[in-house]
Amino acid sequence: MQVGNPANLPLFHVGSVPVYGDTVLAPMTGYSDVPYRALCRAYGSAMNYTEFVPVETLLGKRSRNRFWMRLDKKPDEHPIIFQIFGNDAQRLLQAAQTILDLEPDIIDVNMGCSTRKVSGRGAGVGMMPQPELVAQTFSLLTKYLPVPVTGKIRLGWDADQRNFLQIGQIMVENGAALIAMHGRTKTQKYGGKADWDAIAQLKQAVPVPVIGNGDVQAPADIDRMKTHTGCDAVMIGRAAVGNPWIFARRDKADLTFADVATAVRLHLGEMVAYYGDWQGLVTFRKHFKQYMSGYAMPEKQLACLLRTEDVDEFLQVLAEMEASTALATGQ
């Protein structure tokens, strides 16, 4: 399902990798796992990022821990971008080389995470006040990796250090194939208003594709951002949680409960297939709360759905709710 591309031609390329749509699921810790990426892809996400992985966890003994699991993917999941973070160029290269056998289409350096434990040690957005580190990192990775290398950035550290244009130029001069930018500074985190004018400035300044990110809350915002900034694609994060329809440019307010129930079943099915029955259902609860946001639900049924550890019971109660809603609304 790709929207606005009836000829099925690439809308842009990341290096040699073709991208066929203009909406992209953001890398979100705790959310952008294999099941949710699969669902969002079905609804139109054209390119998926993994949750970010610290380089330190990739340089030791390989094991199926929570960090290595972030690099799991479906066999047909393309393009897939493995996102890593660190504060040392050589270790970033070593980590990237370590995961090449998992066959990522693209490797991305996270330079946008604003959490203290990441940025405070010079990783994530903490790389942006270090132009030399950015240059060294992209120079090494693009020289020694056989796949395109990209980066996700913010405006800068704070209002006095909005150096996104400098960092963008350094990235491109050292081989970056794409830049994704969240239109806020580190100190803003997710507060205030995203600066779409800055995204437009970056797009005009660099010869590679630019993905815009920030304050896309509804389908109409996708085209507004593209028109305002000229960006090649729009990255959607928090607004996509419990709302995969945004990638298909469908407003959740226009959906029937049957539409929602269909997505819930699809998503739960992916969760159970990947995590197993119990863990899949329990992990799904945080998503289910978001799916049900805005719907008035009987307390007894809602409590059952959020408490049960039995997949069949969950699906039975969901089906009862769907039937009663259809009866009440005539849908």
Q: 53-54 and 23-25: which strand pairing? A: unpaired
- C-alpha 251/C-alpha 79 separation (Å) is 26
Choose the final residue of a domain: 234, 252, 270: 252
Contact 50, 27 (CB under 8 A): yes
By percentage, how much of the chain surpasses pLDDT 70?
96
Q: Are residues 221 and 262 in the same domain?
A: no
Name the pLDDT band for 280 (thresholds 50, 70, 90).
Answer: very high
pLDDT higher than threshold 80 for residue 285: yes
pLDDT higher than threshold 70 for residue 119: yes
Q: Are residues 290 and 154 in the same domain?
A: no
pLDDT higher than threshold 60 for residue 237: yes
Residue-averaged pLDDT of the chain: 93
Q: What is the span of the domain harbouring residue 285?
A: 255-329
Name the pLDDT band for 4 (thresholds 50, 70, 90).
Answer: very low
Q: Are residues 245 and 284 in the same domain?
A: no
Tens-place pLDDT, residues 128-183: 999 999 999 999 999 999 999 999 999 999 999 999 999 999 999 999 999 999 99
Beta-bridge mates of residue 153: 111, 181
Domain count, the chain: 2
Q: Count of H helices and E strands in the chain?
A: 12, 11
Q: Are residues 59 and 83 in the same domain?
A: yes
What is the SS3 assignment for 121? coil
Q: 48-49 and 80-85: which strand pairing? A: parallel
Q: Are residues 289 and 168 in the same domain?
A: no
The mean per-residue pLDDT over the stretch 104-124 comes to: 95
- For the CA atoms of 259, 260, 263, 269, the dihedral, rounded to the nearest 10 degrees, stands at -120
Compute CA distances 259 → 105, 236, 245, whole Å: 32, 21, 10
Q: Are residues 232 and 262 in the same domain?
A: no
By percentage, how much of the chain surpasses pLDDT 90?
86
Q: Are residues 278 and 207 in the same domain?
A: no
Q: Which residues of 164-185 are buried (b: 16+ CB within 10 A; e: fewer)?
A: bbebbbbbbebbbbbbbbbbbb
Q: Are residues 209 and 264 in the same domain?
A: no
Considering only CA atoms, give the Rg of the chain.
20
The mean per-residue pLDDT over the stretch 248-271 comes to: 95
What is the SS3 assignment for 280? helix
Residue 1 domain-assigned (yes or no): no
Residue 4 domain-assigned (yes or no): no
Q: CATH no. for residue 322?
A: 1.10.1200
Which class for 135: exposed (0-12), middle (13-18), buried (19 or more C-beta within 10 A)? middle
Active site includes 113? yes
Choose the final residue of a domain: 252, 284, 304: 252
Name the pLDDT band for 64 (thresholds 50, 70, 90).
Answer: confident
Q: Are residues 316 and 228 in the same domain?
A: no
Choose the final residue of a domain: 209, 229, 252: 252
Q: Are residues 246 and 233 in the same domain?
A: yes
What is the SS3 assignment for 26? coil
- C-alpha 214/C-alpha 183 separation (Å) is 6
Residue 7 domain-assigned (yes or no): no
Q: Which of 40, 113, 231, 304 is catalytic?
A: 113
Residue 303 CB neighbour total at 10 angstroms = 11
Contact 210, 183 (CB under 8 A): no
Amino acid, single-letter form, for residue 49? Y
Contact 263, 231 (CB under 8 A): no
Q: CATH no. for residue 41?
A: 3.20.20.70
